[in-house]
Chains A and B, each alone.
Chain A
Amino acid sequence: MRYALFLGCKIPYFVPQYEVSTRRVLAELGVELVDLEFNCCGYPFRHLYFSSYLLAAARALALAESQGLDILTPCKCCFGSFKRAQFLFRDKPALQQEVAAELAAEGLTYSGRCQVKHLQSVLYHDVGLEAIKGRVVRPFSKLNAAVMYGCHALRPSRVTGFDNPYAPVIVDRLVEATGAVSVPWEGKLQCCGAPLRGKNDEISLAMIRERLSECRTDGAEVLVVDCPYSQMQSDWAFDLMQPKDSREYVQGTVLYPQLLGLAMDLKPQELALELSTPDLSYLLSFLSDPQAKAAQARR
């Protein structure tokens, strides 16, 4: 399993813990990552500069293709952006020819060969639940986790093909593989508000606030996200949180590879847990004793 790692623009600076934990966990699971100097996936251009969007997406795909690699991205918006571009190129060959001509100028070709997968798809489909469970040596016990699926991976499903858009299971299963309980909750398939940040902060913030309080109401002790934008939204909401609100929000937001890494008995520092806000060290108290599972296996 060898992929070009497409971090996208937000992770390196704004959510570095996502990169650290993703690399660490994937290395542990035998997934090899190759670093290329990618450009932006085009997502930010979709609103106003459609042709720039397509060219940017195609260029990144062509870059991976030139190395004969498929793309793994931990960002659901990059994922959705690539999937849409690929869909459009298939659907409307004239668009593909247009970007192909642009790309040819720098010796790149886009043939559509490069597959784009989100981190969670790779974990679920390529690594597999059994292999993951095999590496989980300190499963969480009695940790109620709320999974947020992320709009741009899930929908439109005929474009993204991530999972069933109304009853997805991939991330639930992955969370359960760590021993945590994936609780049913109101906002599981809902929006984190990120796309309107800076454009309409009122709606944008309302979205993430609803999510953070819904999952608490539905009994979750942690919100599990797997997209830098969701994490940044959560950071924003917690930053603006007044002391009186604190009872309404879930205690913390964790990135999935951090959760998985803890259950694999990796050190919190290896997962850059200290960079997450609010403090996530409370999660450690849910981890079972490493010997317990071994003993269970022996029995």
Chain B
Amino acid sequence: MFFKLSLYAALLICLLGLAYKVWTWLTTSIGPGSAAYTPGQRIRAALKGMTQAVFSAKLGTILKTLALDGLLQRRSLAVSRLAWSAHMLIYAGFLLLLVLHALGGVLIAAWTEYYPTLNPYLFLRNLAGLMLLAGVALVIYRRIKVPGLRATTRQVDRAAIALLAVIMLSGFWLEAGKALSPHVFDQMVSDWADAGNQAEVQALRSFWSREYGVAFPGQKIPPEDALLAQGRELNEQYCANCHAAPQWAFGSYLLSRAFKPAAAALTSPGLLDVLYYLHFLACWLGLALLPFTKFLHLFTTPLLLMINSVSDRQKMDPANRATVRALELDACMHCAVCSIHCSVAVALRNVPNLTLLPSEKLAALDRTARGGALERGDLEVVREGCYICSSCYRCTRLCTAGINLQDLWFAQKEDLLAQGLGEPYVDLAKAADRAAEASRGQSLLRVRQEGFQHELKLSAQAGTFSECYRCQTCTNVCPVVFQYQWPRQELDLLPHQIMHSLGLGLREEAMGARMVWYCLTCYHCQEACPMGVQVTDVLFELRNLAAGGGSTREDS
């Protein structure tokens, strides 16, 4: 009763959760224009797109993708054999257990007789269970061993691994316990065996103890051949029809051998009950949480791969594009392949912002797109991560779920821009401009005796500005200066004036000059300077200084 009630409760939560998820795919908007479509319009566009794809020659492509990328995990294999092996073990083990064990009484029983204690079920259940356990072990190994993966591992990843491990271990322990347990033996004898008298039971016990390792406590079973032979006969008569030799459950059987010395404690009926409850409740927990955890990728990832196989993100109906982008948030199983291979992951050492990694950027996008209001400070962090990206497309190329990450990053940038958070470079320039505003137009400025030398030390090049004798060569060769009829008005300070300002310690004035931020870094000025002033590099340093990344380094 409790079993069924709890199962239905979990199933209900799962179904409601799935419905909620589908609703978010229809309502989440990522990227400009996505919000323009109502859920109704999105459903219609999706149905139209799906119908067109399914009733056309594209169906072949879809099925091929489902087989190669969905079932055989071709994309994962191309990236990492370790990840592929781990995933295949878990996924094949899971499917086998689902069909042969969890749904065996429904699926298989509908079509033939189903006895979980008979082969092939007994054997396959153990095989599948061990595959899954081995997969979980590989996943843990990978999370620990692969460089860069540990930083991205989150509580949800650990929880998912732990849940699978609990289900598997409780299952094996339960089966091992049953194999050892005399109580279970007696129960089964009374349920199934039509053993007429105590002598026959004794013979059966003798056989099951000797051959199958049931641990009858305090009972010396004499190894009399006659008794054993009778037990064997009775086993054939009563048991073997619906119970294969427990050795076929090889995983549990081996475990039961290990348990044997402490059999009484490890197989007490109370403990077996606890394990039983633990086992199915953990399964129900997984079922109930499926829509809210990465387990959802079971459905979303194949769906996305199939959609991608027959559509082009750029040419897609914009209503569908909005839906697919939202779906992508749920197609990620957080394998972190994108982050391991990210071209700019190296920046993480000096910029402690995890959202620069693709997998974490996606999680951040999920929060900003679906999580409602975020603090301004959080958005700043997301923005920084968003712009530390060289658009190399490697994450998109490698993503095992086929998520078009780069498309999401572009959309994310647009969305942040709409909230007033654009390219950090531009915002820094504006901030520097505001800081310089106070002193502009003043005829007298406070000159700092110590100059500026001590702040510009990233490259030991910047100090060269003190050699400047203001010949204006730098300004004369500058293509940016050349763009304007009145460059002084447009750029605040010209290159030679910036060099001179530095000698006077006019920090804010120099950093706030638009010239610093409009610099093309073409190095004409630096090449041409007769005094060897590293003009372009000084401007680089001024920008670093404004970004706050430049002034902390100690001089050598």
Residues of A within 8 A of B (CB): 9-10, 12-14, 37-40, 44-52, 55-56, 59, 88, 91-95, 102, 106, 151-152, 154-157, 165, 190-191, 193, 195-196, 198-200, 203, 206-207
Inter-chain contact B425/A45, CB cutoff 8 Å: no
Q: How far is the CA of A91 from the CA of B458 in the complex (A)?
A: 12
B54 at the A interface (CB under 8 A): no
Interface pick from B178-186, B197-205, B225-233, B536-544 = B536-544
Q: With A193-B520, A196-B518, A199-B517 in contact, is A207–B344 under 8 Å at CB?
A: no
B459 at the A interface (CB under 8 A): yes
Residues of A near B426 (CB, < 8 A) are 199-200
Closest residue of B by beta carbon distance from A189? B524
Residues of B near A49 (CB, < 8 A) are 347, 350-351, 388, 544, 547, 549
Inter-chain contact B521/A9, CB cutoff 8 Å: no
11 A-B residue pairs with CB within 8 Å: A40-B392, A44-B388, A50-B458, A52-B347, A52-B350, A56-B344, A59-B346, A91-B460, A154-B523, A156-B534, A203-B480
With an 8 Å Cβ cutoff, the count of chain B residues facing the other chain is 51
Q: With A52-B351, A59-B346, A106-B147 in contact, is A191–B522 under 8 Å at CB?
A: yes
Q: How far is the CA of A92 from the CA of B553 in the complex (A)?
A: 13
B349 at the A interface (CB under 8 A): yes
Q: How far is the CA of A40 from the CA of B341 in the complex (A)?
A: 11
Residues of A near B104 (CB, < 8 A) are none
Inter-chain contact B479/A191, CB cutoff 8 Å: yes
Query: Contacts A44-B390, A155-B524, A199-B517 given; 18 further ones with Cβ under 8 A?
Result: A10-B390, A12-B392, A40-B346, A45-B344, A46-B521, A48-B424, A48-B543, A48-B544, A49-B347, A49-B350, A50-B553, A92-B556, A156-B523, A196-B520, A200-B426, A200-B518, A203-B483, A203-B520
Q: Which one of A10, A52, A190 has the greatest number of beta carbons of chain B within 10 Å?
A: A52
Q: How far is the CA of A95 from the CA of B555 in the complex (A)?
A: 10
Closest residue of A by beta carbon distance from B526? A156
Residues of A near B458 (CB, < 8 A) are 50
Inter-chain contact B460/A92, CB cutoff 8 Å: yes
Inter-chain contact A199/B390, CB cutoff 8 Å: no
Question: Which of A48, A91, A196 is in CB contact (< 8 Å) with B428?
Answer: A48
Q: With A9-B392, A40-B344, A55-B346 in contact, is A88–B459 under 8 Å at CB?
A: yes
Q: How far is the CA of A13 from the CA of B404 in the complex (A)?
A: 13
Closest residue of B by beta carbon distance from A13? B393
Q: How far is the CA of A222 from the CA of B83 in the complex (A)?
A: 48
Residues of B near A190 (CB, < 8 A) are 479, 522
Residues of A near B520 (CB, < 8 A) are 151, 191, 193, 195-196, 203, 207
Inter-chain contact B523/A151, CB cutoff 8 Å: yes
Q: With A93-B556, A157-B527 in contact, is A45–B423 under 8 Å at CB?
A: no
Residues of A near B351 (CB, < 8 A) are 49, 52
Inter-chain contact B544/A95, CB cutoff 8 Å: no
Closest residue of B by beta carbon distance from A59? B346
Inter-chain contact B347/A45, CB cutoff 8 Å: yes
CB distance from B242 to the nearest CB of A (A): 56
Residues of B near A13 (CB, < 8 A) are 391-393, 406
Residues of B near A155 (CB, < 8 A) are 522-524, 526-527
CB distance from B413 to the nearest CB of A (A): 9
Residues of B near A37 (CB, < 8 A) are 341
Question: Which of A48, A92, A93, A196 is in CB contact (< 8 Å) with B549?
Answer: A48
B550 at the A interface (CB under 8 A): yes
B466 at the A interface (CB under 8 A): no
Inter-chain contact B392/A206, CB cutoff 8 Å: no
Q: How far is the CA of A57 from the CA of B78 in the complex (A)?
A: 27
Closest residue of B by beta carbon distance from A196? B520
Chain B residues numbered 126-165 whose CB sits less than 8 Å from any CB in chain A: 147
CB distance from B6 to the nearest CB of A (A): 48
Inter-chain contact A56/B521, CB cutoff 8 Å: no
